[in-house]
A and B are shown apart, each in its own frame.
Chain A
Amino acid sequence: QLQLQESGPGLVKPSGTLSLTCTVSGGSISSSSYYWGWIRQPPGKGLQWIGTFYYTGSTYYNPSLQNRVTISVDTSRNQFSLKLSSVTAADTAVYYCARHPSYSSSSFDYWGQGTLVTVSS
């Protein structure tokens, strides 16, 4: 059974960099069949796609965040990571990692449990 687990600091200072890691078990992030993405949800608000990577090394970012976002991969650990720079209180959210098939790419079929990141001094 595929499982995804987010990890990282729950508190980040304004203007700092948010860093999270998603560890995948029960499946390989190097599979050609899947994309691996990050989605966030501010408290009481809706979902926002942040970015996605594909095993070829290609990364795709939300245009509204692309100048602050970097997604990287560690295939040896079956992990992928998110970095969001110059954070403000507006970046406070639950951050999810998720898998979506390359053949049906809007279908985020497996999700992590999510991790709350608060931006505050």
Chain B
Amino acid sequence: QSALTQPASVSGSPGQSITISCTGTSSDVGSYNLVSWYQQHPGKAPKLMIYEVTKRPSGVSNRFSGSKSGNTASLTISGLQAEDEADYYCCSNAGTTTWVFGGGTKLAVL
């Protein structure tokens, strides 16, 4: 069970859009429409931003969206804001009762 692969860092300017990828295998991301995304600010617990690939929990801005193609899931943040600067993690089922996270991506809003 290897960690899902994410870019170490991405950056964008306020108002721009960015996309973070999350690459797994046919045993995890490719097999389940159960990819989720988390935002983590320094010293805080992760916060669920996207679940089941494309769904947003109540209260999460519609600037956040998710998608998946094959073994790669993606998180897109549109209209970047300073408060979006954080670490982002993807997560997927790697079996019906095992789970795996991505290595994390640091988003810088320049």
Contact = CB atoms under 8 A, between A and B. Distances in A.
Interface SS, A side: loop
B48 A107 contact: yes
A57 interface: no
Interface stretch (A16-24, A58-66, A76-84, A85-93): A58-66
A34 to B, nearest CB: 13
Contact of B45 (A49, A64, A96, A106): A96
Contact of A52 (B36, B89, B92, B99): B99
Interface in A51-74: 52, 58, 60, 62-64
B101 interface: yes
A42 B35 CA distance: 22
Contacts of A49: 91, 98-101
B69 interface: no
B92 to A, nearest CB: 6
Given A46-B102, A47-B46, A109 B57 contact: yes
A106 B103 contact: no
A111 B46 contact: yes
B1, B48, B102, most chain A CB atoms within 10 A: B48
Interface of B: 1, 3, 32, 34-36, 38, 45-48, 51-52, 57, 89, 91-93, 96-104
